[in-house]
Structures are given as C-alpha cells and as structure tokens.
C-alpha cells in the first residue's frame, strides 16, 4: 500500500532521538513520574512553549492520560478493528451519478487458440474469456498453464508467497462444469488470478510479507476474494508485497521487475505487478495507500486502477491506514481493469466506508465529449519521463481531445503523510510494544519499525489538525475539478500522487514508453470521485491508439516444458 518514495518525505521526528525507543523502554516510561521537567522537554517536540506554572497544572492530567493508555493497551485489538472514526472523501456540493447502466465490454469474436500455447501468457481477459466460454480451452487447462509459469518464473522474480494450487484446480473444475451446463457467469469465469498477500484466504497463509507474520493463518476470505470467486475467477497464487506494505523487500527476498532482474519491482504491490507483467497471470489484485499500485506498475509496465476511497471493501485486508488504504486491480489494460473492478466494487456490509455509487462503464461513453484537463505546470517541469508524457498528450490531441490546463490546490499535502505514520503506528501497536518489530528485515531509519515508533510522538491534536487541512484539500479539489471529467498528471512529478491519495480520487496508471535503460514509464489518468468509468474509458482510448500495453519484458518467458 505504501510506496518507497514515502521515505523521502520523512522523518524529522528522528531528530528528537525517538529512533532509539524500543517496546521495553516504552513500557518502562509508564513507571516514571510526570514532572514539569518531563513536560518541558516533551513540548519541544510539538513546537509549543508553556510556562512552568502552566505545565505544573497539567502534570496530573497527563499522568491520568498515561494511566488510561496503559488500561487501553490491556484491551486486545487485532489489526482488523478499525477506529470509530471514518474518513469521508465526499466534499460539500458533490453529487455522483444516480442512474445505473449495464456494464458492457465488447466480446472478442473469432478468438482462436494460438498455434504457440505460450502466447496465451499475454492474452487479455476478454480474449481468454472467449476461449473459455467457447470451450476451446478448459479453465483447468488454463489454470495449469499459469501454475506452470508461476512455478518456473516465480522463484526468479521472487513474486509468490504461496501457490494455491489445490484450491485453484477445484475452482477451475467447478468452472468447467458450470460452463458446460450453460451456467456462464461472465468474463472472469474460469480465469486465473492472484492476490497481494495482505488479503486473507481461509486455506492459505496470509503473511503480510513480514517475518513476524510469515506463518499467520486468518480463517476467512477477504470480501474481494469472495467476490472474485462468485464471478467464477480462479485463485492460483498469493503474491508478494514489501513487508507490511512498503517497498519490494519481503521476508523471502526482493521482488524483481521482469524488465530487468537487477532491479526491484518497487512496491508495495510488488508481486502483483511483476507477475502480470511477466505473463504469469492475466490480472492480480493490488492495494495502494501512497503509490503502491502506481509505483510497481511503473517499474513493471502494467496498467493499474486505484479506485476512489470507499469503492472496494477492505474487509479481510491488512490495515495500514484506515483513511487511505484502497484496493484495485493490476492488469494488462484499462479494459481488463474495468472488468475486474466491476466484480469487486460496492458495499458488503462489513467495510462501512463503502459508498454504493454506480459504475457505468460501457460502450455508450463518448470519450471525445469528455472534458479533459492536464497539470500543465507539472508537465513543464524537468523530470525523467517528460518526453514520453509529452508524446502521450500529443497523441490525445491528435484524436481531437482538447486538454485544458488545471492546477491542484496549494496546500501542504506532503506534510499530511504523517497520517500513515500515526494510523500505521496504531494498527501495529502490539508489534512495536512487544519488540517483535526487531524481527523485520528492514531496520533502517526509514523502515517501518522506526516509522511506527516515531508515529507515537505525533500528538492527537496535531493529527486532527492535519485531517482538518485534509478537509481543505478535499473541498478545494472539488472546486478545481468543476467542469473536468478526467485529467492527466505525470506519475511522479509534482504533488498529484500524494494529494489524490489523501483526497481519495481514483486513477489509472498506464505504460506510455520506455527509458533509455529499457525500463518502462507510465503516465497517470485521474478521475473525479467515483468517476472510474470515464477515466477507464479515456485510458482505453489511449491504449487503442498505442501499443505500450502490449509490450512484453525481454526476460526468458517461454515454458521449459
């Protein structure tokens, strides 16, 4: 959920020496008396200066608070217990569509099995769906095909935590029986996929990519997993993520980009992007808190959809930041993402942040009538992918898309990323206090163990003040986007990635070229809140005009069999 670029924003709190606190030391502090000297030192961290008399008056209250902390800590709180506060990204005056239209993707007619079966590795979901629907290939055959590829290339890419082979074959055989009986469920019926291993599955470990949890069993299926099963999809693998959803380093190694095995696949949806890019799966599920779909999609050249906050239930998913975590598909194309998103979005009665907004993706969307903006000043900056992004803008203009310059709010978005530090520290409170954070692979100052410790020194008042500024971002984003359906942004240049993860806006990140070293580049298409249908439609138009989504990495991908 959390991109490694996050570390570049942080951590001034380390200057105060909090880096060296351990769980045992935190516990010992509770035995120390609260004095004026203690409070005088503590206030330096929050940039305030009270008189000694004022501090003296506060000592009894602070001591009482600390006693309350201790009693609260005695109450067991598992990661799945959310705070009694819910983030709402909807600004004043915002309205989403009320009319519900039929989801529609054009069926691929005349699709035939390729002479070389290995070509199936890079078929789109509609292409595979037509082969399965017409019974040119069984779901079981297709499932074994992808299982073989995962077994062959998964260790090289270090992108798999668990193969779910027994379950996969059961689901595939069931799909074949249903399709034979005329009970076809739709384009995902019989199609293999993988999930980022922070989504719970009953029969297999859910490791969160981290040493302290590498043998963890959670006796439930996440809502996303349940919904894909209902759609007839076949779960074949649980895929790597950087430990506790940051980066590409997990307890088993470092997940690699199939474009260059000397480079990591970024994070934290590292395995999901790497597996799809390498043709080990048609699609996978990822998550994003601050770049964890955008970043690995860039490193691996995949197409990813980060939905609006509150679109896809997080029930059964590891919580890192209750107000920022989002679940979405990583696939070959925008159209594939639309098909998967259609199956997983909507309320489940378990994640109470979910809004029941329609998803009206179909062929009736007239893309050329969309009002499209672009962050002109950001595209004019000097940054590594500038020429590829410029070519993307020109390709759309040649198709008659008028690009209107827009700007984002001028607010301190990066300073608000403390939200993740605080909410993450709460989500992994027990890990910190127990000292088990020392088991994690990454132990440098920008790694989770220290970030969680530092997060404890952000006061509740400052956290809430940050959320009030976040309210300004939400409202000002609404004002800036009036009259705009979709806008384009560089994937990294400027503040868009941070700003929109805080505001909850959806995006599609898609490949748009290559660097000189052969690594892919991406550009980001942004939607309005709950506007996934329009942003996906524009992204599909661009992908119809270009072939970047059809490029495959040069690593040895053919089967050894």
Burial 382-394 (b: 16+ CB within 10 A, else e): eeebeebbeebbe
Q: Active site includes 27?
A: no
The active-site residue, picked from 210, 268, 321, 503, is 268
The active-site residue, picked from 138, 139, 196, 238, is 196
Tokens describing residue 69? 């902390």
Strand, coil or helix: what is 525?
A: strand
- How many CB atoms are closer than 10 A to CB 48? 10
Strand, coil or helix: what is 77?
A: coil
Question: What is the rounded CA–CA span in Å between residue 13 and residue 21?
Answer: 12
Question: What is the rounded CA–CA span in Å between residue 74 and residue 60?
Answer: 22
Concatenate the DSSP letters of all residues of 165-185 into one string.
HHHHHHHHHHHHHHHHTT---
Question: What is the rounded CA–CA span in Å between residue 181 and residue 527?
Answer: 40
Q: Strand ranges (DSSP E) for 166-242?
A: 192-196, 234-239
Q: Active site includes 263?
A: no
Q: Please list, in sequence order, all residues whose beta carbon lies within 8 angstroms of the beta carbon of residue 235, skipping any fewer than 6 positions away.
A: 164, 167, 168, 171, 192, 193, 194, 195, 201, 225, 228, 229
Q: Active site includes 292?
A: yes
Question: What is the rounded CA–CA span in Å between residue 90 and residue 94?
Answer: 6
Tokens describing residue 260? 């260059």
Tokens describing residue 24? 């045992």
Residue entry with tokens 């805080």: 502
The active-site residue, picked from 210, 272, 292, 421, is 292
Question: What is the rounded CA–CA span in Å between residue 69 and residue 6?
Answer: 29
Q: Angle 165-180/125-133 helices, nearest 10 degrees? A: 60
Strand, coil or helix: what is 444?
A: coil
Residue entry with tokens 């008189």: 51
CA geometry: angle 524, 272, 286, nearest 5 deg = 60
Burial 235-247 (b: 16+ CB within 10 A, else e): bbbbbbbbbbbbb
Q: Catalytic residue numbers?
A: 196, 268, 292
């Amino acid at each position: 959920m959390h991109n490694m670029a996050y570390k570049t924003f942080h951590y001034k709190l380390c200057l105060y020496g909090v880096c060296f606190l351990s769980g045992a030391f935190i516990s010992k502090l509770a035995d120390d008396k609260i004095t004026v000297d203690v409070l005088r030192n503590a206030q330096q961290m929050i940039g305030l200066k009270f008189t000694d008399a004022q501090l003296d008056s506060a000592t009894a209250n602070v001591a009482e608070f600390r006693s309350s902390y201790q009693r609260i800590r005695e109450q067991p709180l598992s990661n799945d217990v959310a705070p009694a506060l819910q983030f709402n990204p909807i600004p004043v005056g915002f309205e989403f569509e009320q009319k519900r239209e039929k989801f529609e993707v054009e069926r691929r007619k005349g699709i035939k099995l390729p002479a070389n079966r290995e070509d199936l590795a890079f078929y789109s979901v509609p292409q595979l769906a037509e082969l399965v629907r017409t019974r040119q290939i069984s779901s079981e055959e297709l499932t074994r095909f992808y299982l073989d590829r995962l077994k062959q290339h998964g260790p090289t890419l270090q992108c798999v935590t668990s193969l779910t082979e027994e379950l996969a074959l059961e689901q595939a055989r069931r799909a074949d029986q249903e399709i034979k009986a005329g009970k076809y469920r739709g384009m995902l019926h019989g199609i293999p996929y993988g999930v980022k291993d922070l989504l719970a599955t009953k029969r297999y470990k859910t490791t969160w990519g981290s040493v302290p949890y590498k043998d963890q069993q959670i006796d439930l299926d996440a809502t996303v997993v349940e919904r894909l099963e209902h759609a007839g999809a076949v779960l074949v693998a649980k895929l790597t993520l950087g430990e506790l959803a940051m980066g590409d380093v997990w307890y088993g190694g470092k997940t690699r980009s199939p474009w260059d095995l000397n480079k990591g696949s970024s994070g934290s949806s590292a395995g999901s992007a790497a597996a799809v890019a390498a043709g080990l799966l048609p699609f996978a599920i990822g998550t994003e808190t601050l770049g964890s779909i955008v970043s690995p999609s860039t490193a691996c050249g995949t197409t990813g959809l980060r939905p609006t906050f509150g679109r896809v239930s997080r029930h059964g998913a590891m919580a890192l930041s209750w107000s920022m975590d989002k679940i979405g598909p990583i696939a070959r194309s925008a159209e594939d993402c639309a098909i998967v998103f259609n199956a997983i979005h909507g309320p489940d009665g378990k994640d109470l942040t979910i809004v029941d907004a329609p998803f009206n993706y179909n062929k009736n969307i007239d893309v050329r009538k969309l009002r499209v903006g672009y962050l002109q000043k950001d595209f004019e900056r000097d940054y590594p992918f500038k020429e590829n992004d410029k070519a993307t803008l020109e390709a759309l203009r040649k198709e008659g898309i008028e690009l209107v310059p827009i700007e984002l709010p001028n607010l301190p978005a990066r300073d608000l990323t403390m939200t993740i530090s605080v909410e993450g520290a709460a989500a992994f409170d027990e890990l910190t206090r127990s000292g088990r954070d020392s088991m994690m692979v990454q132990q440098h100052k920008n790694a989770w163990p220290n970030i969680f410790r530092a997060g404890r020194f952000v006061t509740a008042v400052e956290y809430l003040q940050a959320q009030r500024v976040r309210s300004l971002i939400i409202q000002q984003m609404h004002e800036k986007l009036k009259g705009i359906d979709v806008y384009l942004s560089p994937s990294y240049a400027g503040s868009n990635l941070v700003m929109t993860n805080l505001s909850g806006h959806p995006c599609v990140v898609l490949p748009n070229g290559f660097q000189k070293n052969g690594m892919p580049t991406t550009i980001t298409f942004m939607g309005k809140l709950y506007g996934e249908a329009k942003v996906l439609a524009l992204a599909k138009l661009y992908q119809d005009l270009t072939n970047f989504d059809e490029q495959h990495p040069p690593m040895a991908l053919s089967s050894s069999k």
